[in-house]
């Protein structure tokens, strides 16, 4: 079995597991049943069953090798070969970006919007293979400052201020900006 | 006749209400943002609406919706510039322009190609908006008589049509749709007051806002995908002069059949839930290629190729507004965000909106006409500046888009948990796309899920579990039959394609 098929298999199995858990949880909904009447568990159970049925069908078809996409051996033209060459993947950048975004959301309430966002913007630009340091630092710090201004003074949404020293820093900034 | 006069009079009042500095500024800003987002590869018109959404929270409802509608309308146009001049479609809507717009530009007729695009955008938009104005109010009166079976049948049609409109496998589309519908069940059930999948957390009791699902799956997942590609900037090789030259009226009138065909098709596609401007654009071109008078020249720089796709794309905007305003059913990502904006301002789209918020609706209609005028002006003036924006490094624009998406999620309830939910849906969207599961059914399921479930359960309770009621009431029967036909098409189409290949 090739890599693509095994990945597809893993996804289908995960979907089945997820749906089974959801189905089980749906059986545990606290509800007084009225005989002959559909309850709040009907809809989720039906949807979970749908996912299970079609994911099982997917697995069966992968094994039977009847899936159209997998069974047709693709013959690459010169143009397609060129596209493949251009279509280079950067998995480390992707993982870095995902982890970085998770860390950013985690740190946002601790460090506060202004510092956290400036660092996050600079990090994404740098890991995104952009190397103009002036633009990176300038746009990330000025950008996050403008966003803070817009959201606090125009949109009136209180962005995370941070705790401890970072909180004091944000409030000082708010004071300077005239935000009450 | 009285209804017609009333509609025209209300439209006139709406237009007059729009003639103030703030509203005109909103239209201008919306048109600019829409065009920029559609022109820059990696951004789409939906991303544009998503990015601006948090800024509309403090606006009054009229200006907020007008701003978002202007982005939606202008977004069907902006991507034409890079598609014609650089062979880079800014938005998937404009891929068909590569087949005729770019060859025209290479023949030294770039200015004319841009002119055809502008004329097509304006004429298609005008056709659909006029239809929207004339049809929506009478349709809303009819919709007032609809009950839960009719609503379920309409939503069911929307959910089934999304299955055959994409090019992914039917199994994957159904799984994605079911996932979306399942997401919509999270929270306290509205009919029985029961906690579902809440794990005793207050945040999940309130349910998952479909805007979070939509922003995560469409915008965040897209940026993750572009990260994986290393934020590769497309190479810009200009093939023609950056100028717009309009075709003459005589030239335009020769293509009246293409215009009417694509306008009707685009408006209809917009009306169908799940199908948006991109599908309209491709179908418009496809139909022209099949039955157009000049079909053999298509693909070699024929104006029919530009007109068919562009007219259909812009006309789909007016079409998509019809179910949103008359039935309260958003059929696309863009109209779902518009629906969110309506709800955030305490306005429920649906049959009652013309009675409760008539002036607002006609102000929106009026703004759409004004937006077309603004787009004509921008079509001449903004080509050069737009080309400069294309040179912005993708890593910089993408990092700001990510932050704005997260700010949008945070602003919904001023809660950091919403940002986590957005992040999770960004990951889900990325994984699904990576493994060929289409994400549009998931988003549509999350949007239409509550209405589908409540209308189905209400029907079952009201009619003592007699599902045949869906087929015995005339309106619901029509929609159910259409839904069954679309399901059959979804099943049979791949088999037919396979047979043709063999």
- Mean pLDDT for A139-162 is 88
- Could you tell me if residue A165 is inside a domain? yes
Among A residues 17-56, those touching chain B with beta carbons less than 8 Å apart = 22, 25-26, 29-31, 36-40, 42-44, 47-48, 50-51, 54-55
Q: Are A109 and A147 part of one and the same domain? A: yes
| Distance between CA atoms of residues B426 and B428, nearest Å | 6
A152 or B149: which carries more pLDDT confidence? B149
Give per-residue burial for B474-494: e unless 16+ CB within 10 Å, then b: ebbbebbebbeebbeebeeee
Q: For residue B107, what is the DSSP state?
A: I
Last residue of a domain, one of A47, A80, A113: A80
A59 and A98 co-located in one domain:
no
| pLDDT at residue B470, rounded to an integer | 94
Domain assignment present for residue A85? The answer is no
Q: What is the average pLDDT across A156-169?
A: 89
Judge if A114 and A75 occupy the same domain.
no
If asked whether residues A73 and A15 sit together in one domain, one would say: yes
The minimal CB distance from A25 to the residues B197, B224, B404 is found for B197
Residue B55 per-residue DSSP state: G
Residue of B174, B177, B165 lying closest to B279 (CA atoms): B165
Q: In B166-205, which residue ranges form alpha helices assigned H by DSSP?
A: 170-183, 202-205
Q: Which residue has the tokens 């789909």?
A: B316
Domain that holds residue A166: 91-177
Contact A121, A152 (CB under 8 A): no
Asked if residue A21 belongs to a domain, the reply is yes
Inform me whether the C-beta atom of residue A89 falls under 8 Å from chain B C-beta atoms.
yes
Shared-domain flag, residues A123 and A75: no
The residue in chain B having the minimum alpha-carbon distance to the alpha carbon of residue A114 is B403
Which own/partner pairs from B9-13 qualify as long-range (CB within 8 Å, at least 24 positions apart)? B10/B358, B10/B359, B10/B362, B11/B133, B11/B362, B11/B365, B11/B366, B13/B359, B13/B362
Angle at A10 between CA B183 and CA B217, to 5 degrees: 35
How many domains, chain A? 2
Separation of alpha carbons B270 and B125, rounded Å: 12
Would the CB atoms of A147 and B407 count as touching at under 8 Å? yes
A115 at B interface, C-beta within 8 A: no
Last residue of a domain, one of A60, A80, A100: A80
Tell whether A70 and A8 lie within a shared domain.
yes
Longest dimension (CA), chain A: 70
Nearest CB to B194: which of A31, A67, A125?
A31
The verdict on A101 and A158 lying in the same domain is: yes
Work out the mean pLDDT of chain A and round it to a whole number.
85
Q: Are A116 and A81 in contact (CB under 8 A)?
A: no
Which of these, B278, B295, B285, lies nearest to B261 by C-alpha position?
B285
Query: Using a CB-CB distance cutoff of 8 angstroms, which residues of chain B are in contact with residue A158?
Result: 414
Confidence of residue A174 (pLDDT cuts 50, 70, 90): confident
- Chain B interface test: which of A43, A55, A98, A153 (most B C-beta within 10 Å): A43
Q: Are A99 and A167 members of one domain? A: yes
Integer Cα distance of B129 and B307 in angstroms: 17
> Quick check: B244 and B115 in contact, CB under 8 A?
yes
Answer yes or no: is A119 within a domain: yes
What is this model's ipTM? 0.89
Question: Taking CA A29 as the corner, what is the angle to CA A25 and CA A34, rounded to the nearest 5 degrees?
Answer: 135
Distance of CA B369 to the CA centre of its chain: 18
CA–CA separation, B60 and A82 (whole Å): 51
Predicted local distance difference test score (pLDDT) of residue A101: 96
**Helices marked H in B166-236 — which ranges?**
170-183, 202-205, 210-214, 221-228
Query: Per-residue pLDDT tens for A17-39?
Result: 999 999 999 998 887 777 778 88
Q: Which two tokens stand for residue B428?
A: 């889900």
* Residue A114 and residue A149 share a domain: yes
Q: Note the pLDDT of residue B499.
A: 61
> Does any domain span residue A86?
no
Instruction: Indicate the domain borders of chain B.
Output: 2-501
Nearest to B427 by CA among B435, B315, B348, B164: B435
Q: Which two tokens stand for residue B341?
A: 């904006």
Q: Do A105 and B194 touch (CB under 8 A)?
A: no
In angstroms, the CA B35 to CA B29 distance is: 10
- pLDDT in the model for residue A3: 76
Same domain, A100 and A143: yes
Question: For position A71, what pLDDT does the model report?
Answer: 47
In the prediction, which pLDDT does B166 show?
Answer: 63
Chain B nearest CA to A167, separation (Å): 16
- Boundary (domain end) residue, out of A51, A80, A109: A80
User: Measured between alpha carbons, how far is B209 from A126 in angstroms, rounded to an integer?
Assistant: 32
Q: Is A67 left (phi over 0), alpha (psi -120 to 50) or beta?
A: beta
Residue A3 CB-density burial (10 A; 0-12 exposed, 13-18 middle, 19+ buried): exposed
Q: Specify whether A68 is located in the same domain as A129.
A: no
pLDDT digits (tens), chain B, 502 positions: 678 899 999 999 999 999 999 999 999 999 999 998 888 776 778 888 888 888 888 889 999 999 999 999 998 888 888 888 877 777 778 888 888 888 888 888 888 888 999 999 999 999 999 999 999 999 988 888 889 999 999 889 888 877 766 667 889 999 999 999 999 999 998 888 899 999 888 888 888 988 889 889 988 998 999 899 888 766 666 665 667 888 999 999 999 999 999 999 999 888 877 667 888 888 889 888 888 888 888 888 899 999 999 999 999 999 999 989 988 888 778 888 898 889 888 898 888 888 888 899 999 999 999 999 999 999 888 777 877 777 788 889 889 989 989 998 898 888 899 999 999 999 999 999 998 899 888 988 998 899 899 999 999 989 988 889 999 999 999 999 988 998 888 888 777 766 655 5
**Distance in angstroms (rounded) separating the CA atoms of residues B427 and B25:** 36
pLDDT of the residue at A73 = 47
Residues 166..185 of B with a Cβ closer than 8 Å to A: which?
169, 171-172, 174-175, 178-179, 181-182, 185
In a domain, A55, yes or no: yes
d(CA A16, CA A49): 9
**What is the model's pLDDT at position B221?**
92
| Residue B222 pLDDT | 87
- Token duo for residue A110: 């601790």
Judge if A126 and A172 occupy the same domain: yes
Between A117 and B43, the more confident residue is: A117
């Amino acid at each position: 079995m090739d890599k693509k098929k095994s990945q597809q298999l893993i996804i289908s199995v995960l979907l089945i597991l997820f749906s089974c858990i959801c189905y089980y949880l749906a059986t545990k909904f606290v509800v007084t049943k009225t005989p002959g009447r559909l309850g709040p568990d009907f809809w989720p159970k039906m949807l979970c069953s749908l996912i299970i049925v079609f994911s099982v069908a997917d697995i069966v078809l992968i094994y039977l090798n009847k899936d159209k996409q997998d069974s047709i051996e693709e013959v690459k033209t010169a143009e397609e070969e060129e596209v493949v060459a251009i279509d280079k993947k950067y998995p480390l950048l992707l993982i870095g970006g995902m982890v970085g975004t998770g860390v950013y959301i985690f740190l946002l309430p601790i460090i506060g919007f202004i510092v956290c966002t400036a660092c996050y913007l600079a990090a994404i630009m740098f890991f995104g293979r952009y190397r103009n340091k002036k633009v990176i630092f300038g746009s990330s710090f000025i950008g996050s400052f403008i966003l803070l201004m817009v959201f606090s003074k125009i949109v009136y949404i209180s962005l995370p201020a941070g705790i401890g020293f970072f909180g004091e820093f944000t409030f000082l900034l708010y004071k300077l900006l005239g935000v009450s | 006749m009285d209804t017609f006069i009333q509609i025209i009079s209300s439209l006139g009042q709406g237009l007059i209400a729009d003639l103030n500095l703030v509203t005109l500024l909103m239209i201008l800003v919306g048109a600019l943002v829409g065009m920029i987002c559609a022109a820059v590869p990696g951004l789409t018109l939906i991303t544009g609406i998503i990015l601006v959404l948090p800024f509309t929270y403090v606006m009054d409802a009229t200006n907020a919706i007008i701003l978002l509608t202007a982005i939606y309308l202008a977004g069907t146009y902006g991507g034409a510039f890079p598609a014609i001049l650089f062979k880079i479609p800014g938005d998937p809507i404009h891929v068909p322009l590569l087949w005729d717009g770019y060859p025209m530009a290479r023949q030294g007729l770039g200015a004319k190609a841009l002119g055809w695009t502008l004329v097509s955008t304006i004429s298609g938009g005008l056709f659909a908006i006029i239809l929207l104005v004339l049809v929506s109010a009478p349709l809303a009166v009819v919709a007032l008589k609809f009950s839960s079976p009719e609503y379920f049948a309409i939503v069911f049609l929307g959910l089934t049509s999304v299955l055959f409109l994409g090019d992914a496998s039917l199994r994957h589309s159904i799984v994605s749709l079911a996932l979306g519908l399942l997401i919509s069940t999270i929270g306290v059930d509205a009919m029985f007051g029961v906690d579902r999948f809440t794990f005793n957390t207050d945040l999940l009791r309130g349910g998952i806002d479909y805007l979070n699902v939509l922003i995560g799956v469409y915008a965040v997942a897209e940026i993750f995908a572009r990260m994986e590609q290393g934020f590769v900037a497309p190479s810009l090789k200009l093939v023609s002069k950056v100028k717009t030259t309009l075709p003459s009226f005589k030239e335009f009138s020769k293509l009246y059949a293409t215009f009417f065909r694509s306008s009707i098709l685009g408006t209809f596609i917009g009306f169908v839930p799940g199908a948006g401007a991109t599908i309209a654009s491709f179908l418009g071109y496809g139909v022209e290629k099949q039955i157009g008078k000049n079909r053999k020249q298509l693909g070699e720089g024929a104006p029919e190729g530009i007109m068919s796709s562009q007219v259909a794309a812009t006309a789909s905007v007016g079409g998509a507004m019809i179910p949103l305003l008359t039935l309260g059913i958003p059929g696309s990502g863009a109209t779902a965000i518009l629906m969110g904006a309506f709800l955030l301002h305490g306005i429920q789209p649906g049959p009652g909106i013309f009675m409760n918020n008539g002036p607002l609706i006609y102000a929106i209609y009026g703004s759409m006409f004004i937006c077309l005028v603004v787009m004509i002006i921008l079509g001449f003036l903004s080509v050069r500046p737009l080309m400069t924006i294309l040179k912005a490094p993708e890593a910089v624009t993408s990092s700001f888009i990510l932050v704005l998406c997260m700010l949008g999620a945070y602003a919904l309830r001023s809660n950091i948990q919403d940002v986590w939910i957005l992040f999770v849906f960004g990951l889900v969207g990325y994984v699904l796309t990576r493994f060929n599961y289409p994400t549009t059914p998931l988003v549509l399921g999350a949007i239409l899920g509550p209405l589908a479930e409540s209308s189905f359960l209400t029907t079952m309770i009201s009619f003592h579990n007699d599902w045949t009621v869906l087929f015995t009431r005339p309106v619901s029967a029509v929609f159910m039959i259409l839904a069954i036909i679309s399901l059959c098409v979804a099943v049979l189409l791949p088999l037919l394609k396979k047979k043709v290949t063999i």
